[in-house]
Amino acid sequence: MSRFKEQKRSAIEAGKEKGDVGLAAGEQRVNELQSVKGMIDSIYANVRDDESHEQVRAMEQQYREAGREAYRSEVADVVRDAHGDLERNKSDIADERSRTESAASSISDMQGVTNLARNEARSAESSLKRSAGEFKDMETITDNIESQQESQSQNIRSRIEGIFG
C-alpha cells in the first residue's frame, strides 16, 4: 500500500477515534445524569415543605443545564471537530481519486495512439482504476463514520434532554 493511502487511512481512524471519545463521554454523562435524576426524584418525594420542593426543583434545573452544557462541550463540539478533520482528509482523498481517474483515462487514450507497450499500459490503467476504487471506498467509509457518529450524538442529546423532561 502506498504511503499516501496509509496516511489517509490512519487519518480516518484517528478521526473516528476522536469522535468516539466524545461519544463515550456522552454515554458516561447520560448514566451520571440518570442516577442524579433518580436521587432528585427521591429527595423531592421525601420532603414536604414547599420551600424545600422549590430548592430541589432549582437544583434539578441546574443539573439540566449542566447536562446540556456537557453535551455541547464534551460531545457535540468533539464530534464536530472530529468530523472537520475527517472532511479535510476526505477532500484530500477525493482530489487524489480524481487525479488517479484522470491518469487512468490518459493511459487509456495513449493505448489508442500506438500498440507499443500495450500490456504495460493496460496493467498501469488497471492498477490506477483499482487505486481510484480504494480512494472511493475511503470516502464512503468516512461518510459512514460521520453519519453513524452524528446519529449517536443526536441520540445522546435526546437522552440527556429526556432525563429531566
Q: What is the pLDDT of residue 100?
A: 96
Q: Indicate yes or no: pTM above 0.85.
A: yes
> How far is 76 from 71, CA to CA, in rounded Å?
6
State mean pLDDT over 2-7.
95
Cell numbers for 140, please give them: 464512503
Residues 6+ apart with CB under 8 A from 82: 15, 16, 18, 19, 22, 149
Cell numbers for 25, please give them: 463521554
State mean pLDDT over 56-84.
96
Q: Which domain holds residue 87?
A: 3-163
Cell numbers for 4, please give them: 499516501
Q: What is the pLDDT of residues 106-164, one digit of tens each?
A: 988 888 777 777 788 889 999 999 999 999 999 999 999 999 999 999 999 999 999 98
Total count of domains within the chain: 1
State mean pLDDT over 71-96.
98
Q: What is the pLDDT of residue 147?
A: 98
What is the dihedral angle through the alpha carbons of 152, 156, 158, 162, rounded to the nearest 10 degrees?
150
Q: What is the pLDDT of residue 1?
A: 64
Cell numbers for 143, please give them: 461518510
Q: What is the pLDDT of residue 117?
A: 79
Q: What is the pLDDT of residue 129?
A: 96
Q: What is the pLDDT of residues 5-54, one digit of tens each?
A: 999 999 999 999 999 999 999 999 999 999 999 999 999 999 999 999 99
